[in-house]
Amino acid sequence: MQRQSLPRYNDAMRRYGGTVIFQGMDDDGLIEVVEEGVTRSLHFGSSAKQSTLDISRPEQLQLAYTAAMMSALLFQPAPANIALIGLGGGSLLHFLRHHYPDSEIDVVEKRSDVIAAAKRFFQLPDDDKLNIYLGDGSDFIRNCRASYDLLLVDAYHDDGMDDATDGTHFFQQCHQALSEQGVMSINLWSSHASRLEQSLLAIRECFNGHCLRLPVKGRGNIIALAYRNPQTGNLRTARQRAAVMEQQLELPFGIFLRDLRRHNLSLFSRLFS
């Protein structure tokens, strides 16, 4: 497919429940920005929302799966070095930059036109603690020299998860890229059951079994949390910490903790007595 520039979409067109304000094509397919009231969403040629941003409050996470990815903060509440594999419209980046302004954040995105759209339509932050790299996520993790306290993997295209950010080889690299108390949070998709189980099996293998699964209620997303070293503690204390974080970060950490326990009872009981 010949690469095309991304022109402004001038004619008002209703699509995905909103108005298309931008539509273009690159080598990987369609890139569309749809506006509905004060929110804008990024689409890759389908109704699935890759990112959604409230323009008036960009730090608020609008999609349930992005909020669930932040459940990793239960295990690493003060990340100093953060990496994001997959930029999209930058909703995760907005949240992290707002709540962790002193953290160093590296973002890698393989599509230059996605970066351009994020800058133009999604108020992409710009400061000296933020680095945005154009490239493949697997290559970035393999060659990175930093040790990350929080690694978020959300790399999708129009028909599913990017193959480059799945599988044993990639997850081994993620394990090596984490700090001693680092946590990886990855967005998986449940519609292909066999692939989901293969991904979870590979993560468990690479992280010595240290992997929790968190289904997103009412969605097809499964969030996997993997960590280098177990961080054991008291369940009562964990609940108290979740309540404090819920107030500070405006996310349902109490529900995250409850659901993590429900879906990972054996492993969870070894972490929290």
- What is the predicted pLDDT for the residue at 194? 85
Q: Is the pLDDT assigned to residue 155 strictly greater than 80?
A: yes
Residue 265 lies in a domain: yes
Q: Is 166 a catalytic residue?
A: no
Residue 1 lies in a domain: no
Kindly indicate the confidence band of residue 215, based on its pLDDT and cuts at 50, 70 and 90. very high
Residue 70 lies in a domain: yes
Residue 225 lies in a domain: yes
In this structure, are 86 and 18 located in the same domain? no
In this structure, are 115 and 152 located in the same domain? yes
Distance in angstroms (rounded) separating the CA atoms of residues 206 and 149: 17
Measured between alpha carbons, how far is residue 234 from residues 21, 240, 264 in Å? Answer: 50, 10, 16
In this structure, are 37 and 100 located in the same domain? no
Q: Where are the beta strands (DSSP E) in 46-165?
A: 49-54, 81-85, 104-109, 130-134, 148-153, 156-157, 160-161
Distance in angstroms (rounded) separating the CA atoms of residues 170 and 263: 25
For the chain, the domain total comes to 2
Measured between alpha carbons, how far is residue 29 from residues 114, 158, 159, 258 in Å? Answer: 11, 8, 10, 39
The neighbour count for residue 273, using CB atoms within 10 Å, is 9
In this structure, are 88 and 191 located in the same domain? yes
In this structure, are 30 and 129 located in the same domain? no
Distance in angstroms (rounded) separating the CA atoms of residues 16 and 49: 9
Residue 8 lies in a domain: no
In this structure, are 229 and 248 located in the same domain? yes
Distance in angstroms (rounded) separating the CA atoms of residues 235 and 258: 10
DSSP H helices, 100-234, are 112-121, 137-143, 168-177, 193-206
Domain boundary (6, 27, 54) is at: 54
In this structure, are 31 and 129 located in the same domain? no
In this structure, are 175 and 41 located in the same domain? no
- Average pLDDT over the chain reads 91
The enclosing domain of 196 has a CATH number of 3.40.50.150
In this structure, are 104 and 189 located in the same domain? yes
- What is the predicted pLDDT for the residue at 158? 55
Radius of gyration of the chain (CA): 18
Domain that holds residue 47: 14-54
Give the mean model confidence (pLDDT) for residues 179-208: 92
Query: Higher model confidence: residue 163 or residue 150?
Result: 150
Instruction: Look at the pTM and tell me if it is higher than 0.85.
Output: yes
In this structure, are 137 and 220 located in the same domain? yes
- What is the predicted pLDDT for the residue at 6? 47
CB–CB of 76/96 below 8 Å? no
208: left (phi over 0), alpha (psi -120 to 50) or beta: left
- Which phi and psi (to 5°) does residue 94 adopt? -60, -45
Residue 99 lies in a domain: yes
**Beta bridge partners of residue 40, listed in sequence order:** 35, 53
CB–CB of 225/75 below 8 Å? yes
Residue 176 lies in a domain: yes
Give the mean model confidence (pLDDT) for residues 42-70: 95
Q: Is the pLDDT assigned to residue 189 strictly greater than 60?
A: yes
Q: Active site residue: 106, 113, 149, 154, which one?
A: 154
Residue 3 lies in a domain: no
| Cα–Cα nearest to 15, from 38, 39, 45, 37 | 45
- What is the predicted pLDDT for the residue at 231? 78
In this structure, are 84 and 44 located in the same domain? no
In this structure, are 105 and 198 located in the same domain? yes
Q: 111-127: b or e for each residue (b if 16 or more CB lie within 10 Å)?
A: bebbbbbbeebbebbee
